[in-house]
């Protein structure tokens, strides 16, 4: 039999594949550059000053909008063999062509201005970016004014921002002569910065005043005055400033700004609702604050601490790897209290305190912390004593929900605080008593989950409070889909229209407490719960919770496995969908349960590095 013909090469292959050379682009560009150097196949000659350079139109047009327009829009130069470039030096053009053909450039102080001029004129944007990066690396106290001039001249916004940032950091170090040389626009941008923390607001005011009084610059007063945050000065300083300076009396804008600040300081309780750009604290970063709690050797804790891994000479460091620094302590130690942030003020309410006779009970007292002055102020107490409750800032009010009173009775009541009136008033209660529940604010609503009733019934309910229903006569507490299991002593946090419940405990069939390590999420839009594929690394009850940058921080707490308080911080990172993870953050300065936590601006004299808070920590304390 005759043998069958062999299959064709095409029949032996299975399909298409994209095959790519890693060296082709580089080798083609290198060959074009060699042709340029040898004068081969070049179709245009560029003239700058007395120097001539051979080049390829296609390469130039691919790198520069300037050349693309010149060679493609029927301009006179489009057919010319030789093109003279005005305003570009030979040195600048040589370096620009080297970059166009190689993607590299060797910069030094002797050529940088020529290169900038060429890059700007020829619209070589990538070249300008490299020049900006080079100059930022060279930025120093000797040259910042010259670099600012270059940034302004050649429109280099990245370099300009770097100079402003440098001056914000080092403004306090300037000699008087240097200060007076600052251009108006540069000084204005520095004064606007939230991160100008090296000077107090009074020192900033005095600095600006010296600049205005030098060389008859008083006509710039209105432009600069609006960037002085008079609201950050205390009342005595404001009164002293207003009485001693004729500028404030002669300038209508200055007088109005000062009166605004005086009104702000005269109404201390309403300040959280009167925040403007002129009362916003200057700070370098937000950071994690912890308040109160209960630890083994000391029953109740007064201290307020913040996460501050960068060593500060004038701050007293405490335990936990020197990661925490102390601020002014609360008026009284407490645990199982609640905190809420409104207008960059920290409110601490209720909780359990220890009396002189050793007896502990819930209290109604409320105090407010001002991070600008590191000072506590007592505000109106709640109508009911509360511990194991929820406190939340919603709109222009604080809401206190449920909890246990001084007789350990579980409460159904809800009350709210009005800062303008410095007064608490009752609003619609729950349909049952509730304590040891969790809550948070999301979608302009107050959400409450789980908890235990006065008959010791563990709950899986999710309730939501709508303040808009107050005047409609409708029930302000609405029921949503129940949680996947009952939880008490847990925490709840909101991230991007999802509610997350973490930690806490439930009861088994024998009515024994069991830890809940599962994390469940609730979709506000779908009214649906989902069990997450990730869980807590260890169970946490009676913990604090705070949210920052799509990360949920579960702080301290209590382990029913060991019957001991915890010093750990667990972090749930949900910033990237599909790549969520739970990890241990840095340890607390002491093991504590009934602790409360939040994020606030770091004290103005610090700049905590939050990287060690946001990434898995390499030192995990005993859990």
pLDDT, one tens digit per residue, over 394-451 is 999 999 999 999 999 999 999 999 999 999 999 999 999 999 999 999 999 999 999 9
Q: At what angle do helices 144-153 and 112-121 cross, to 10 degrees?
A: 20
Sign of CA dihedral 357, 360, 363, 367: positive
Residue found under tokens 């601020």: 327
Is 411:404 a contact under the CB 8 Å cutoff? yes
Tokens of residue 589, six digits: 């300065």
Tokens of residue 298, six digits: 């000391």
pLDDT value at residue 563: 87
* pLDDT > 80? residue 209: yes
* pLDDT > 60? residue 501: yes
Is 309:580 a contact under the CB 8 Å cutoff? no
Lowest mean pLDDT among 136-145, 246-255, 336-345: 246-255
How sure is the predictor about 472, in pLDDT bands with cuts at 50, 70 and 90?
low
pLDDT value at residue 218: 85
Determine what percent of the chain is predicted with pLDDT higher than 70.
93
Question: Span 23-38, mean pLDDT?
Answer: 90
pLDDT higher at 16 or 520: 520
* pLDDT > 60? residue 620: no
Determine what percent of the chain is predicted with pLDDT higher than 90.
70
Tokens of residue 103, six digits: 């993607």
Closest CA to 534 of 548, 514, 549, 554: 554
Tokens of residue 194, six digits: 């939230």
CA quadruple 130, 136, 142, 146: dihedral, nearest 10? 60
What is d(CA 620, CA 623) in angstroms, rounded to the nearest whole number? 8
Question: Span 91-120, mean pLDDT?
Answer: 95
Tokens of residue 6, six digits: 């062999």
82, 85, 111, 115, 157 from 92: Cα distances, Å = 18, 11, 7, 4, 21
pLDDT value at residue 471: 62
Return the bridge partners of 404, or none. Answer: 387, 410
Return the bridge partners of 307, or none. Answer: 324
Select, from the ranges 19-33, 214-228, 261-275, the one with the highest average predicted confidence (pLDDT). 261-275
Closest CA to 57 of 69, 67, 47: 67
Is 588:569 a contact under the CB 8 Å cutoff? yes
For the chain, the average pLDDT equals: 89
Is 610:569 a contact under the CB 8 Å cutoff? no
Question: Span 513-538, mean pLDDT?
Answer: 95
Tokens of residue 565, six digits: 């308080």
pLDDT value at residue 310: 56
pLDDT value at residue 312: 45
pLDDT value at residue 117: 96
Q: What are phi and psi of 617, to 5 degrees?
A: -90, 140
Closest CA to 338 of 419, 431, 261, 441: 441
Return the bridge partners of 394, or none. Answer: 397
Residue found under tokens 């700004």: 257
Using one digit for the tens of pLDDT, what is the confidence trace for 50-81?
A: 999 999 999 999 999 999 999 888 777 777 88
Closest CA to 172 of 194, 145, 192, 196: 196
Domains of the chain, first to last: 25-138 (3.30.710.10), 173-273 (1.25.40.420), 286-614 (2.120.10.80)
Query: DSSP letter at 173?
Result: G
Lowest mean pLDDT among 115-119, 296-300, 317-321, 591-595: 317-321
Tokens of residue 9, six digits: 């090469």
pLDDT value at residue 422: 98
pLDDT value at residue 321: 46
Using one digit for the tens of pLDDT, what is the confidence trace for 475-488?
A: 689 999 999 999 99
Question: Span 565-570, mean pLDDT?
Answer: 93
How sure is the predictor about 617, in pLDDT bands with cuts at 50, 70 and 90?
low
What is d(CA 261, CA 10) in angstroms, rounded to the nearest whole number? 83
pLDDT value at residue 470: 65
pTM: 0.86
pLDDT value at residue 128: 96
Is 105:99 a contact under the CB 8 Å cutoff? yes
462, 546, 599 from 437: Cα distances, Å = 10, 16, 21
What is d(CA 473, CA 467) in angstroms, rounded to the nearest whole number? 11
Helix (H) or strand (E) holding 170: helix 157-170
Sign of CA dihedral 195, 348, 366, 468: positive
What is d(CA 228, CA 273) in angstroms, rounded to the nearest whole number? 20
Is 401:365 a contact under the CB 8 Å cutoff? no
111, 231, 233 from 373: Cα distances, Å = 50, 12, 9
Using one digit for the tens of pLDDT, what is the confidence trace for 221-242?
A: 889 999 999 999 988 888 888 7
* pLDDT > 50? residue 317: no
Residue found under tokens 């830890």: 515
* pLDDT > 50? residue 316: no
Question: Span 454-469, mean pLDDT?
Answer: 92
């Amino acid at each position: 039999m005759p043998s069958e013909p062999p299959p064709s090469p095409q029949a032996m292959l299975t399909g298409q594949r994209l095959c790519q050379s890693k060296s082709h682009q580089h080798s083609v560009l290198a060959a074009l550059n060699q042709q340029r150097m040898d004068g081969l196949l070049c179709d245009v000659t560029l003239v700058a000053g007395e120097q001539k350079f051979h080049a390829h139109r296609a390469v130039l047009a691919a790198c520069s909008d300037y050349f693309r327009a010149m060679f493609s829009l029927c301009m006179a130069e489009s057919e010319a063999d030789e093109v003279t470039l005005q305003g570009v030096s030979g040195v600048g053009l040589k370096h620009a062509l080297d970059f166009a053909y190689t993607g590299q450039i060797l910069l030094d102080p002797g050529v940088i201005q020529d290169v900038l001029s060429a890059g700007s004129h020829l619209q070589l944007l990538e070249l300008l970016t490299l020049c900006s990066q080079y100059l930022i690396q060279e930025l120093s106290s000797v040259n910042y004014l010259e670099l600012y001039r270059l940034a302004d001249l050649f429109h280099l916004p990245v370099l300009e921002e770097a100079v402003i940032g440098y001056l914000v950091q080092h403004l306090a170090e300037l000699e008087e002569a240097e200060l007076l040389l600052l251009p108006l626009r540069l000084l204005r941008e520095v004064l606007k910065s939230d991160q100008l923390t090296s000077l107090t607001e009074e020192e900033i005011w005095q600095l600006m005043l010296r600049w205005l009084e030098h060389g008859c610059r008083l006509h710039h007063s209105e432009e600069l005055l609006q960037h002085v945050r008079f609201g950050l000065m205390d009342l005595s300083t404001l009164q002293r400033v207003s009485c001693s300076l004729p500028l404030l009396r002669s300038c209508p804008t200055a007088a109005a700004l000062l009166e605004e600040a005086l009104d702000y300081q005269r109404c201390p309780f309403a300040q959280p609702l009167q925040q403007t750009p002129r009362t916003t604290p200057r700070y370098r970063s937000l950071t994690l604050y912890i308040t109160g709690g209960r630890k083994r050797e000391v029953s109740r804790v007064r201290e307020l601490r913040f996460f501050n891994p960068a060593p500060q000479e004038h701050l007293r460091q405490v335990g936990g790897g020197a990661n925490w620094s102390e601020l002014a302590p609360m008026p009284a130690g407490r645990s199982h209290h609640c905190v809420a942030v409104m207008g960059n003020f920290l409110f601490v309410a209720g909780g359990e305190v220890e009396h002189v006779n050793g007896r502990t009970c819930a209290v109604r007292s409320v105090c407010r912390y001002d991070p600008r002055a590191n000072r506590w102020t007592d505000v109106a107490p709640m109508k009911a004593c509360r511990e194991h409750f929820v406190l939340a800032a919603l709109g222009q009010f604080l809401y206190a929900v449920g909890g246990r009173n001084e007789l350990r009775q579980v409460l159904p009541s809800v009350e709210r605080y009005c800062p303008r009136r410095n007064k608490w008033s009752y609003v619609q209660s729950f349909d049952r008593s509730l304590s040891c529940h969790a809550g948070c604010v999301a979608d302009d609503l107050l959400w409450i989950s789980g908890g235990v009733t006065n008959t010791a019934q563990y709950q899986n309910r999710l309730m939501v409070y709508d303040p808009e229903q107050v005047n409609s006569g409708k029930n302000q507490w609405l029921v949503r889909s129940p949680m996947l299991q009952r939880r008490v002593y847990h925490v709840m946090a909101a991230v991007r229209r999802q509610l997350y419940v973490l930690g806490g405990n439930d009861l088994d069939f024998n009515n024994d407490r069991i830890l809940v390590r599962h994390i469940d999420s609730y979709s506000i839009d779908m009214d649906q719960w989902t069990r997450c594929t990730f869980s807590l690394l260890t169970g946490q009850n009676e913990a604090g919770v705070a949210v920052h940058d799509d990360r949920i921080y579960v702080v301290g707490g209590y382990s029913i496995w060991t019957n001991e308080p915890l010093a750990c911080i667990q972090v749930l990172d949900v910033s990237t969908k599909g790549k969520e993870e739970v990890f241990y953050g840095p340890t607390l300065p002491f093991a504590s349960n009934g602790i409360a936590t939040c994020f606030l601006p770091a004290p103005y004299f610090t700049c905590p590095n939050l990287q060690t808070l946001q990434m898995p920590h390499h030192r995990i304390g005993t859990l």
